[in-house]
Amino acid sequence: MTELTEPNDLLPPDRIPVTIEEEMRSSYLAYAMSVIVSRALPDVRDGLKPVHRRILYAMRESGFTSDKPYRKSARAVGDVMGKYHPHGDSSIYDAMVRMAQHWSMRVKLIDGQGNFGSVDGDSPAAMRYTEARLAKSSSFLLDDIERDTVDFQPNYDESEHEPKVLPATFPNLLVNGASGIAVGMATNIPTHNPGEIIDATLAMIANPEIDLDELTKIVPGPDFPTGGIIMGRRGIRQAFETGRGSIPVRARAEIEEIRKDRQAIIITEIPYQVNKATLQEKIADLVRSKEIEGISDIRDESDRSGMRVVIELKRDATPEVVLNQLYRFTQLQTSFSANMLALDEGKPRTMGLIDILQAFIRFREDVILRRARFDLNKVRDRGHLLVGLVMAVANIDEVIALIRAAPDAATARESLMARQWDAEEVVPLLTLIRDEGNVIIDGKVRLTEAQARGILELRLQRLTGLEREKIQGELNEVAAKITDLLEIIESHIRRMEVMRNELMAARAEIATPRATEISDALGDQSDESLVEPGQMVVTITRDGFIKRTPLEIFRSQNRGGRGRTASGRRGDDVIIRSFNAHTHQWVMFFSSGGKAYRMKVWHLPEAAPTAKGRALVNLLPELGTDSITAVLPLPQDEELWDDLHLVFATASGNVRRNRLSDFRNIRASGLIAMKLDEGDSLIGVATCREGQDVFLATKKARCIRFQITDDTLRVFAGRGSTGVRGIRLAEGDIVNSLCVLNHVEATVEERAAYLRMANAKRRAENAAPAEGADEDITTTSEDSDDVPEIVGSLSQERFEELEQQEEILLTVTDGGFGRRSSAYDYRVSGRGGQGITNMTFSANRRGKEVVGTLPTLDGTDVMMVTDMGRLIRLPVSQVRVMARQASGVTLFRVNDTESVICVFPVLEDDSEDGDADEVIDGGVVSAEGAVPAVEGSEGQADSGAEEGPAADA
């Protein structure tokens, strides 16, 4: 029976068992280190990977230098592959091609002739068709390599020797950058301007303790060969400081008018490593898919003079918006992810700008030191021979006699070496060159074998007087050279001086102007820049749906028209609020629960007039079960947001004034705006200034106007108060309109006289009364104490002064009737009274409630919306200016079962700066007086007790 053996007993005696886990671990680590060190990562000293280093060295050894004719690329590739690089010819040729491409390298190292590809991604011609030689700049990487400046190592088959690193004169790693993927790590180093990098190196030589702030003044950032614009300096700073950073790069684009009514975007520079052909294809795909609109044609007009890509726009396109969309969705703007990883002393290390420059300076100093030692040995050898020649010339007769007496050269050499020569003349020379080969004994010197051979090889012409002087002069030069080399070897300062001179020489050859601009503007684009600017009509329904619709969709109609459908509704849902605003405008939303939210108009869903929109709860998730009861559009110009206040009004007649600083930085979850009593709600919020007037109007046609002062309506310290009473309401009445009017100093008599003169002027201008209009009236028995009967008139100058400051208020009823009245018809009283009559209802007309009262401007339109979803837009100039108590004229013909529920002004923004008046929830506040809401403290507010005198009944 065969005896069982252990598995190890079956192995040959020279085999050692190893587990597969251990073998995989060791083999993978060996492979990873080979890739890291020998293939993928550049060396911080010369900035080259092994393949690039081998190409440059092989071409130099083969004599393919810049002063020689071009040679076939295949020959250079063959030399590299056969001697140094154990990989395929395609990888070698690809590396050579990249070093010859001006759009890939900041300083080309290979001078190519033929088709070496293009920025469009075209492949280069085969290596058998192209020719190449070293560029002039490559000499600054290869010079002095034969002078023992760097270490050499055997090639892959140990038949040749190759340099471990090239003795680079300038920091090539920063100048030309590098990219590569190793095992578990990668590098991506941007290119920089050669002149700036050399200047930074010189600055660090002059001041080794220089900080990054000083260096960034010299090297502001990367400089890509394809140009472009770097947006912002934050990524640059991070990359220079830590070795990692994201640098946004944008194409250089200009907007030109190529022909009448046609504009085009002209691209002259693109970001680094972007394929121009692929970029154009991407733009075309986005145009076809309608992700970018407004482009009619794309063509490439690039030629030898430079890049030029023309993106022709449609007539109605906004060039800035299209360009921003291109930046967002295409590679016209990219981010260069800098990862400055390189081999430092054979180990991968992530380095910043200072680290790389310090490593290069240490390496370059070592190169200079090694070169000086090599040169010193050579010069000393020459000086040693010259000493022998000097002694031979000094004793020429005796030397000739010894040579003639010798039977052969060996005997003559031994005779010269055995003879002791008088050292009186050569001792100073030996001391000068520090020659240790000759031994001086009793003032006599014996020649060395090298000196004896030199004497025997001496030509007779060197014995002439002139030649003897040349020998002496050469000896003096050698002595001076030795002295200089010894200073370099012994002095760090002297080595730095040599380095500085060599850097200056390199700078004179390779420095070029900066190609990439650095802009302080941030490269991050907000979505707002992608939105076409324009005026929008925003509508909100009772069930909480919101949408925006372009204003131009709603054409203007005459007074008394039938309007058009304004919104699709779900069931019995109705529009409760509408206003117009710019797409780039902030809008504050105030909920029934007293919280404030903020959003840009372009964030709101855009929909057709008949669409129902989107639920507000989806846009404001923190809204919950509350409803939006007040909306405040804010002006686009944020410089106008300082030193203004907000005035709040509730349905119960309470008002409160706060600083806008109390509502800065509203969170997504909202901010408490005002404390409300049970059953109360916000009906309006407006911006105001000290000294303006607050105007409140109710649905039962009562109104009150009081001035904003610290005594009447002081500024509350917090946001948690219910405010103070603004108007005392009758049972069943509520406040539905808030607006802010400019305060005009005028007596009761002046107001009455002005109204009488203004009515007469308007009657003269409109001889025929408007259809359905009541007779103009100035006073009634109810308000006889407000405007007494006064006979007389104002001076023309005073009349014109009041006319210029006059504001006109429009009052609209739920039956579609309305009229305009002068603000002078509403006296300024104290806060907290019952107010005065705002409109007289006619018994034979529909509607018994006021929908809204708001200021209007001549030349503008107003919109009215019904509970059936119809909307009309009409010019305010078609509505007569009547007395405050007039019942008005027909503005909107509504059905018997239909009622007007909303009125708001339409103010077109025709100015370039967008500084037209802004609509504020049923009233108008000029851009000068409108500001965005901002967050403040949560401190306790004053109590809601009344303040100030009550108004007269």
Q: Are 644 and 931 in contact (CB under 8 A)?
A: yes
Q: Which residues contact 750 (CB under 8 A, 6 or more apart)?
A: 794, 798, 802
Cα 910 vs. chain centroid, distance in angstroms?
30
Q: Which residues contact 483 (CB under 8 A, 6 or more apart)?
A: none
Handedness of CA 617, 621, 626, 628 (dihedral sign): negative
Distances (CA, A) of 750 to 696, 746, 753, 826: 23, 6, 5, 13
Structure tokens at 747: 């007596």
Q: Are 854 and 922 in contact (CB under 8 A)?
A: yes
Gap between the terminal Cα atoms of the chain: 129
Q: Convert 337-350 into a string of H (helix), E (strand) and C (coil).
A: EEECEEEECCEEEE
Q: For residues 323 and 68, what is the distance between their CA atoms, to the nearest angstrom?
A: 48
Q: For residues 202 and 548, what is the distance between their CA atoms, to the nearest angstrom?
A: 61
Q: Supply the DSSP symbol for 229.
A: E
- With CA atoms as reference, report the closest residue to 755 among 856, 923, 877, 884: 884
Structure tokens at 733: 């009445």
Burial of 732 (0-12, 13-18, 19+ CB in 10 A): exposed
Assess whether 129 carries a catalytic annotation. yes
Q: Are 584 and 514 in contact (CB under 8 A)?
A: no
Phi then psi for residue 539, to 5 deg, are: -125, 140
Q: For residues 491 and 638, what is the distance between their CA atoms, to the nearest angstrom?
A: 63
Handedness of CA 836, 840, 843, 845 (dihedral sign): negative
Q: Are 901 and 564 in contact (CB under 8 A)?
A: no
- Beta 71-72 vs 131-134: how paired, if at all? antiparallel
Q: In one letter, which amino acid is 589? A: F
Q: For residues 243 and 266, what is the distance between their CA atoms, to the nearest angstrom?
A: 34
Q: For residues 681 and 850, what is the distance between their CA atoms, to the nearest angstrom?
A: 18
Q: For residues 833 and 816, what is the distance between their CA atoms, to the nearest angstrom?
A: 29
Q: Which residues contact 662 (CB under 8 A, 6 or more apart)?
A: 646, 718, 719, 934, 935, 936, 937
- Beta 595-600 vs 671-672: how paired, if at all? antiparallel
E strand or H helix at 484, and its extent? helix 465-490
Find the DSSP H helices in 309-426. Answer: 319-329, 353-394, 396-405, 409-418
Secondary structure of residue 423 in the 3-state scheme:
coil
Q: Are 201 and 170 in contact (CB under 8 A)?
A: yes
Bridge partners of 739, per DSSP, are 695
User: Choosing from 28, 70, 84, 129, which is the catalytic residue?
Assistant: 129
Distances (CA, A) of 607 to 466, 548, 551, 604, 876: 103, 6, 12, 9, 27
Q: For residues 141 and 168, what is the distance between their CA atoms, to the nearest angstrom?
A: 4
- With CA atoms as reference, report the closest residue to 192 among 161, 160, 168, 216: 216
- ∠ at Cα 363 (362, 367), nearest 5°? 120
List, by residue number, the catalytic residues: 129
